[in-house]
Amino acid sequence: MKYITLNNGLKMPMVGLGTWDLRGEKGKQSIINALKTGYRLIDTAQMYGNEDIVGQAIIESKIPREEIFITTKLNRSCAGYHEAKKGILRSLKNLQTNYIDLLLIHEPYPEALEMYKAMEEAYLLKKVRAIGISNFHNDNYENFISTCNIKPAVNQIESHVYYPQLSFKQKMDNDDIQMESWACFTEGRKDIFKEPILIKIGRKYHKSAAQVALAYLIQNGIIVIPKTSHLERMIENINIFDFNLSDEDMAQIKLLNLNHSLFNWYD
């Protein structure tokens, strides 16, 4: 596993497990399987309604808590200072942990700065090891980072080979904020697994199109959290650190960029 150092010195795994549609006993077992496979970053959110199974899976895995990096996100129900304070306590209880490694605001709500004040307090009290944002773009991003007291460590946004947002990545690099991808496989909006360019490049390294797609983001310094409940895909997705895409490969993949969101998130 490769790690990246956030702006407060905290090390974060570059590949994690996304859990947005994992539910119940089957979902819990998928998370346990991921942890046993070597995943150390688990990404959840209050919006997903599965913080409880994430917490229970970590306990049942018997892997020391300090080895696991948990990300969760506050949703609209936490929109406000007091609401966010309650939301943080709720997440800690659901996750059955004394601290959250990374806490994000899920979307740029009008009350985001009020929410963030509660997050900053939780950070200073060490209930949270890093704080950040998700889906903040353009004016939402600029206005937020120029106003908050503690600079966000991470901004989690849509990023995949068809819309990598590399120019925004450069902007965040300049601001010392780490970019993290959601929808690294497009969530079915495009059949990335059958993309000819990715398949062709993968053959050179005996890798799948999915592994090439992840490697492209990783080599651009972007954290990825591919979601799967299938053990074989978990193993495949994490085995991407034994090869490096060439400059020519990177240039070919860059041509896939459509320069627009597949989710209309930023319109």
Give pLDDT tens digits for 120-141: 999 999 999 999 999 999 999 9
Query: What average pLDDT does range 179-199 have in this prediction?
Result: 97
Domain presence at residue 263: no
- Predicted confidence band of residue 85 (pLDDT cuts 50, 70, 90): very high
Residue from 170, 171, 159 nearest 262 by CA: 159
Q: 267 lies in a domain?
A: no
Does the residue 243 lie in any domain?
yes
Report residue 267's pLDDT band, with 50, 70 and 90 as the boundaries.
low
pLDDT at 168: 98
Judged against a pLDDT cut of 80, whether residue 265 lies above it is answered with no
Please say if the pLDDT value at position 266 is more than 90: no
Query: How many domains is the chain built from?
Result: 1
261 within domain boundaries: no
Give the orientation angle of helix 209-219 with respect to helix 196-205, to 10 degrees. Answer: 90
Q: What is the mean pLDDT of residues 148-175?
A: 98
* pLDDT on residue 18: 98
Q: How much of the chain, in percent, has pLDDT values that exceed 90?
A: 99
| Phi/psi of residue 197, nearest 5 degrees | -65, -40
Say if pTM beats, i.e. exceeds, 0.85.
yes
| Predicted local confidence at residue 64, as pLDDT | 98
Place of tokens 């046993």: 36
Residue 125: helix, strand or coil by DSSP? Answer: coil
Lowest mean pLDDT among 8-12, 18-22, 233-237, 262-266: 262-266
Q: Please compute the mean of the pLDDT values over residues 198-206 and round it to a whole number.
A: 98
* pLDDT number for residue 121: 98
Question: What is residue 264's predicted lDDT score, i.e. its pLDDT?
Answer: 83
In DSSP terms, 72 is beta-bridged to 103
Domain that holds residue 28: 3-254
Answer whether residue 193 is part of any domain: yes
**Cα–Cα distance for residue pair 156/170, rounded to 1 Å:** 14
* Paired strand residues for 158: 182
Reported as a single tens digit per residue, the pLDDT across 90-123 is 999 999 999 999 999 999 999 999 999 999 999 9
Does the residue 262 lie in any domain?
Answer: no
What is the rounded average pLDDT of the residues 220-236?
Answer: 97
- Write phi, then psi, for 46 (nearest 5 degrees): -60, -35
Which residue among the candidates 48, 123, 162, 216 is catalytic per the annotation?
48
Q: For residue 228, tell me if it sits in a domain.
A: yes
Catalytic residue flag (residue 48): yes
- Assigned domain for 265 exists: no
Q: Domain containing 44 — which CATH number? A: 3.20.20.100
Per-residue pLDDT at 63: 98
User: pLDDT averaged over the chain?
Assistant: 97
What average pLDDT does this structure show over 51-80? 98
DSSP summary character for residue 246: -
Question: Mean of the pLDDT values across residues 22-32?
Answer: 97
